């Protein structure tokens, strides 16, 4: 129906008439949808168009829409967080709190939302949905579906976490957190439809990628992979209405549905921008001020660390300094896996996660140790000082002073990082020969 409505222009007026006509039983339902905030608490105001969107403005817009249409349902395809920069974790904490306050009815889970682990995601009351979760943890925060009854209608929301897209697929076995089988999802969709519910499925894939796995004939509305910033035009794919959110939280999508027997008869799509004329929600001000205060405090702390480092107070000097006097040892180390431990974190988009950095850099959490790439770019990866301990005193005394970990047994050095969960196959007599120098 939607396709004809769009392309057969003379019919539009007629259809609109029949839709608005009081003679036809009106069963209207309004969905507000979005997806892939991608870590934007508030998109920057750098461009000419200025600062569009942001959680504070979205809160106002949603409040207005809910006053006008009390039965509306707000759905997100997820993708709220980002882990591309050093400030993203803190921002993520506030995005989750802010999102909880927006009162969404259901939010799909994407891999990027797991960037800081499942506990991080659980800190705010966001109605997460993931329909193919098979991890042991977090089952109580992730629902496999959410049923929303509003204005005489029932919408059942599902979300499919693409098992092939796990960012850490090979690295840490998170691949297996998402089931490759859509059997449970397909059964859930069918049950929901049989009970008269309107089914909505969110995913980061396209309909073509789902075919052969997900039964699209049981999906009324598919929220497919988000487009960059701009919302896509809805399209019919078989009997499924496919909608495409735009990223970075600059707009909201609105779908006004005319239902008969719980199925979509007509739909109208509108994209709602968030220009400056939409005021920030006063209720979100305290949240925003607290976030800014935390950002400032973090910044000042880093300035202090940088100052301390520049004035030579750090006990760590970095591998280049050791190389000056220990060329063969350095060469062996340089060709080992330890030398690329930070690059390997970057490859899985985890170079800003303290939970990972700890074992993939030098002296993290120790005075004068790794802070971030910019301040301490000489302490990336597992280096000499990760095992031998801080070496400034030793280096400055031409080797006549001991290193911080002088006297440590090999086992003790390795055990700092080669723990059971992170290196299950560790055996000193197998591992040491690979790095012996």
Q: Which of 100, 33, 101 is nearest to 73 (CA)?
A: 33
Contact status: 385 vs ligand HEC (CB under 6 A) = yes
Contact status: 324 vs ligand HEC (CB under 6 A) = yes
User: Is the distance from CB of 37 to CB of 79 less than 8 angstroms?
Assistant: yes
Using the rule CB under 6 A, give the single segment among 2-10, 204-212, 218-226, 343-351 that binds ligand HEC. 343-351
Contacts of 86 (CB under 8 A, 6+ apart): 352, 372, 373
* 408-427 binders of ligand HEC (CB under 6 A): 410, 413-414, 416-419, 422-423, 425-426
> Among residues 234 and 381, whose Cβ is nearest to ligand HEC?
381
Half-sphere exposure of 394 (CA within 13 A, CB side): 21
Binds ligand HEC (CB under 6 A): choice among 161, 216, 322, 380: 322
Rounded-to-integer distance, Cα 301 and Cα 305, Å: 6
Tokens read off for 421: 């969960």
Rounded-to-integer distance, Cα 321 and Cα 323, Å: 5
User: Is the distance from CB of 214 to CB of 159 less than 8 angstroms?
Assistant: no
Q: Which of 160, 174, 173, 145 is nearest to 213 (CA)?
A: 160
Contacts of 96 (CB under 8 A, 6+ apart): 80, 81, 120, 121, 123, 124, 126
**Least distance (Å) from ligand HEC to the CB of residue 319?**
5
* 148-207 binders of ligand HEC (CB under 6 A): 168, 170-172
**Least distance (Å) from ligand HEC to the CB of residue 158?**
28
Contact status: 356 vs ligand HEC (CB under 6 A) = yes
- C-beta nearest to ligand HEC: residue: 399
Rounded-to-integer distance, Cα 193 and Cα 275, Å: 38
Contact status: 394 vs ligand HEC (CB under 6 A) = yes
Q: Which of 63, 54, 13 is nearest to 34 (CA)?
A: 54
Q: Which of 110, 135, 112 is nearest to 202 (CA)?
A: 110
**Least distance (Å) from ligand HEC to the CB of residue 267?**
42
Binds ligand HEC (CB under 6 A): choice among 88, 161, 353, 370: 353
End-to-end CA distance of the chain: 72
Rounded-to-integer distance, Cα 205 and Cα 28, Å: 28
Contact status: 398 vs ligand HEC (CB under 6 A) = yes
> Among residues 278 and 356, whose Cβ is nearest to ligand HEC?
356
Using the rule CB under 6 A, give the single segment among 121-129, 190-198, 290-298, 342-350 that binds ligand HEC. 342-350
> Among residues 67 and 420, whose Cβ is nearest to ligand HEC?
420
User: Is the distance from CB of 69 to CB of 30 less than 8 angstroms?
Assistant: yes
> Among residues 22 and 398, whose Cβ is nearest to ligand HEC?
398
* 264-303 binders of ligand HEC (CB under 6 A): none
Tokens read off for 59: 């809160």
> Among residues 26 and 324, whose Cβ is nearest to ligand HEC?
324
**Least distance (Å) from ligand HEC to the CB of residue 413?**
4
> Among residues 4 and 437, whose Cβ is nearest to ligand HEC?
437
**Least distance (Å) from ligand HEC to the CB of residue 346?**
9
Q: Note the residues at the interface with ligand HEC (CB under 6 A).
A: 168, 170-172, 317, 319, 321-322, 324-326, 329-330, 333, 337-338, 340-341, 344-345, 348, 350, 353, 355-356, 358-360, 382-388, 391, 394-395, 398-399, 403, 406, 410, 413-414, 416-419, 422-423, 425-426, 431-432, 434-435, 437
């Amino acid at each position: 129906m939607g396709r004809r409505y769009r392309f057969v222009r003379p019919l539009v007026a007629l259809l609109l008439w029949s839709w608005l006509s009081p003679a036809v039983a009106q069963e209207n339902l309004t969905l507000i949808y979005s997806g892939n905030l991608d870590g934007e608490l508030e998109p920057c105001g750098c461009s000419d168009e200025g600062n569009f969107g942001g959680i504070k403005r979205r809160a106002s817009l949603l409040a207005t829409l809910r006053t006008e249409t009390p039965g509306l349902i707000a759905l997100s395809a997820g993708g709220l967080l980002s882990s591309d920069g050093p400030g993203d974790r803190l921002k993520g904490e506030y995005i989750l709190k802010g999102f909880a306050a927006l009162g969404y009815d259901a939010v799909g889970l994407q891999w990027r939302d797991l960037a800081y682990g499942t506990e991080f995601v659980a800190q705010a009351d966001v109605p997460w949905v993931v329909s193919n979760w098979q991890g042991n943890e977090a089952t109580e925060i992730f629902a496999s579906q959410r049923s929303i009854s509003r204005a005489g209608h029932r919408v059942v929301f599902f979300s499919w976490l693409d098992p092939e897209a796990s960012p850490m697929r090979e690295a840490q076995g998170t691949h297996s957190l998402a089931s490759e089988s859509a059997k449970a999802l397909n059964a859930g969709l069918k049950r929901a439809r049989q009970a008269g519910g309107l089914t909505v499925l969110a995913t980061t894939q396209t309909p073509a990628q789902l075919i052969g796995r997900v039964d699209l004939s049981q999906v009324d509305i598919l929220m497919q992979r988000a487009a960059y910033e701009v919302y896509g035009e809805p399209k019919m794919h078989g009997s499924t209405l496919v909608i495409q959110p735009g990223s970075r939280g600059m707009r909201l999508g609105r779908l006004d549905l005319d239902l008969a027997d719980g199925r979509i008869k007509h739909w109208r799509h509108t994209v709602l921008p968030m220009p400056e004329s939409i005021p920030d929600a006063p209720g979100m001000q305290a949240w925003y001020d607290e976030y800014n205060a935390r950002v400032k405090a973090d910044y000042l702390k880093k300035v202090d660390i940088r100052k301390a480092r520049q004035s030579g107070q750090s006990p760590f000097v970095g591998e280049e300094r050791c190389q000056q006097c220990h060329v063969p040892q350095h060469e062996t180390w340089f060709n080992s896996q330890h030398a690329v431990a930070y690059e390997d974190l970057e490859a899985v988009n985890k170079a800003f996660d303290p939970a990972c950095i700890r074992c993939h850099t030098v002296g993290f959490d120790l005075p004068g140790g790794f802070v971030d790439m910019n301040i301490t770019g000489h302490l990336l990866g597992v280096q000499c000082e990760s095992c031998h301990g801080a070496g400034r005193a030793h280096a400055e005394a031409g080797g006549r002073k001991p290193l911080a970990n002088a006297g440590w047994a090999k086992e003790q050095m390795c055990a700092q990082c080669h723990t059971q969960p992170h290196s299950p196959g560790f055996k000193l007599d197998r591992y040491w020969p690979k790095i012996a120098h």
